[in-house]
Chains A and B, each alone.
Chain A
Amino acid sequence: MAILLGLSSGMVRSRLEKQPYRSTVLRKPGLVVLAFLAQFCIFQIPRLGITPRDEWVAWTLMAGQVMLLVFCYLNRKSPGFIILALGTLLNLAVMLLNGGLMPMSPETILKLNPQASPDNWSLGERLGNSKNIALTEEMTLLSILSDRFIFPDWLPYRVAFSLGDVVLSIGAFWLLWSLGGVPRNYKENTNGQKATNHTPLRTYWRRSHRKGMQPDPDCGGN
């Protein structure tokens, strides 16, 4: 949802500012694909009749989060990646402190699914084939960062999310929104003409754009 919102509002912004909607070249996107595939596989294995041990799931999740943090570090100069890293860190912190899985309280479980039978889950156990573990607020370390928020009843999307997830969404939105504006570190256009020390970069970009010079799509903004 944050991605769609960020993309659409970024494009509206680029229209309003009469700028091209830019893209940015990501470094090592394979890390993200690897992290996603590892998680996808560990959650799909039960379909093959193999039940992965909870430790495997926890280690896969941890390794994935570390890969994502490395990816954020490599792309830290692009807008939004600091926020994305913060969201990932918040989720990683609460998972690390609670056995490698994301805690969810019985209250949240019942809010999500009031018909959930207590036979299907027990405290301290992984919830079905999910990344969550059922823990009371008292049992949870840093419970403020656990999966404790749910969408309002009028929304059909019934999932729990954490503060880290909210921060992640803000980061994704910020990245896509910022691509619709003028890059702050724009220094050189494709004609090789550099901005003088006296020309504010944003002004320089606008002037160059008005003159019909093609902006450099490689130039990422902060």
Chain B
Amino acid sequence: MNTIKNVKSGVASFIVSGKARLVILVITLALFVLAAGAPGASGGVGD
């Protein structure tokens, strides 16, 4: 029971930590760049 509580609090503290924010920022930015300007797929040309 205590182990579960420790894991839960560990996860919760990670989510609000600076590292988690940075991970979220980088993932969001990567998705943004892909969605806004995914380079023209060369695959469609040669198919």
Interface residues of A, Cβ cutoff 8 Å to B: 2-3, 7, 20-26, 29, 32-33, 35-36, 39, 64-65, 68, 71, 84, 87-88, 91, 102, 104, 108-109, 112-113, 115-116, 120-121, 126-132, 147, 158-162, 164-165, 168-169, 172, 175-176, 217
CB distance from A23 to the nearest CB of B (A): 4
- Residues of A contacting B29 in the complex (Cβ-Cβ under 8 angstroms): 3, 172, 175-176
CB distance from B13 to the nearest CB of A (A): 14
- Residues of B contacting A68 in the complex (Cβ-Cβ under 8 angstroms): 32, 35-36
Q: Is B30 an interface residue (CB 8 A)?
A: yes
CB distance from A20 to the nearest CB of B (A): 8
Q: How large is the interface on B (under 10, 10 to 19, 20 to 34, 35 or more residues)?
A: 20 to 34
Interface residues of B, Cβ cutoff 8 Å to A: 18-19, 21-22, 24-26, 28-47
**In the complex, are the beta carbons of B28 and A130 less than 8 A apart?**
no
The 17 listed contacts between A and B (C-beta, < 8 Å) are A3-B29, A3-B33, A23-B25, A25-B21, A29-B28, A36-B34, A39-B34, A39-B35, A64-B35, A88-B37, A112-B42, A113-B46, A130-B41, A130-B44, A131-B41, A132-B40, A172-B32
**In the complex, are the beta carbons of B39 and A165 less than 8 A apart?**
yes
